[in-house]
Amino acid sequence: ADTSPSGSDITLTLPTSAGSANQFLKNGSAAGTLEYSSMVETSTGIGIGTSSPSYKLHVTNDSSAAARIGGASNYLELGEYASNSSPAISYNGSGASLPIRNGTSEVARFDSSGRLLVGTTSAISGSNANDNLQLVNSAGSILSVASSDTTIGNGTRIGEVQFWGQPSSTWGNFATIGCFGDSTATSNDNPGRLVFSTTRDGESSP
């Protein structure tokens, strides 16, 4: 490649094969020695780790996280969680909190204690350290539990809060608070009841 009059000539060494269709070229282990990349571009999209991208950007890796965004110690990983081969979003950074934003406004976050905070950026002062979910709203927080069943009659379960523990190797249900239909529901007629149940000594369910 001639860069005269101001520079010197440079040499680029091409691969010895034609490679595959849609493949990118890149510098190899030695600068100036070109090799084929695992990145491809097709009419469907760009693929990294796959020769047949199914989306505009398709990143995949069979053994670890598919993508990492950030630096050496503060980063977000997307892909497979290596210890149990499950899809995961993994965040590692100062404080280890993962905020979720709508535009520039934070609407929720997973904090360093594993809690989900909605409507606040920090846990409630003096709250129980074992709180897993905290809802904060100046108008008073509401937690909605809804059923999509369109036929609700007497005894139909609308929703339930269950309290579980694991005193041995088996999980057990210790108590429930359930909302049930109290008779047939129609438009603007929503009869319901709350049922509080506990598990008796020597029994296995409420």
DSSP single-letter state for residue 123: P
pLDDT at 190: 96
> Which structure tokens are listed for 101?
């934003």
Question: Confidence class of residue 73 from pLDDT cuts 50, 70 and 90?
Answer: confident
| Pick from 87-91, 176-180, 202-206: least confident | 87-91
Helix (H, G, I), strand (E, B) or coil at 95: helix
Cα(112)–Cα(123) distance, integer angstroms: 10
Mean pLDDT, the chain, rounded, equals 86
pLDDT at 134: 92
Among candidates 74, 72, 120, which has minimal Cα distance to 93?
Answer: 74
HSE, CB side, 13 Å, CA atoms: give it for residue 110: 8
Q: How many angstroms from the chain centroid is the CA of residue 77?
A: 10
Q: Is the pLDDT of residue 139 over 90?
A: yes
Q: Is the pLDDT of residue 102 over 70?
A: yes
Question: Confidence class of residue 128 from pLDDT cuts 50, 70 and 90?
Answer: confident
> Which structure tokens are listed for 35?
């090799």
- C-alpha distance from residue 14 to each of 18, 33, 48, 79, 206 (Å): 9, 7, 22, 33, 73
CB neighbourhood size of 62 (10 A) = 8
DSSP single-letter state for residue 15: P
Q: Is the pLDDT of residue 175 over 80?
A: yes
Contact, 177 vs 196, CB < 8 A?
Answer: yes
Q: What is the CA radius of gyration of the chain?
A: 28
| Pick from 7-16, 66-75, 191-200: least confident | 66-75
DSSP single-letter state for residue 96: G
pLDDT at 177: 98
Residues 25-41 have pLDDT tens digits of 999 888 889 999 889 99
Q: Is the pLDDT of residue 62 over 80?
A: no
Four-residue CA torsion sign, 125, 128, 134, 139:
negative
pLDDT at 82: 53
Contact, 174 vs 164, CB < 8 A?
Answer: yes
Cα(166)–Cα(187) distance, integer angstroms: 42
pLDDT at 83: 57
pLDDT at 147: 93
Q: Give the residue-averaged pLDDT of 3-18.
A: 82
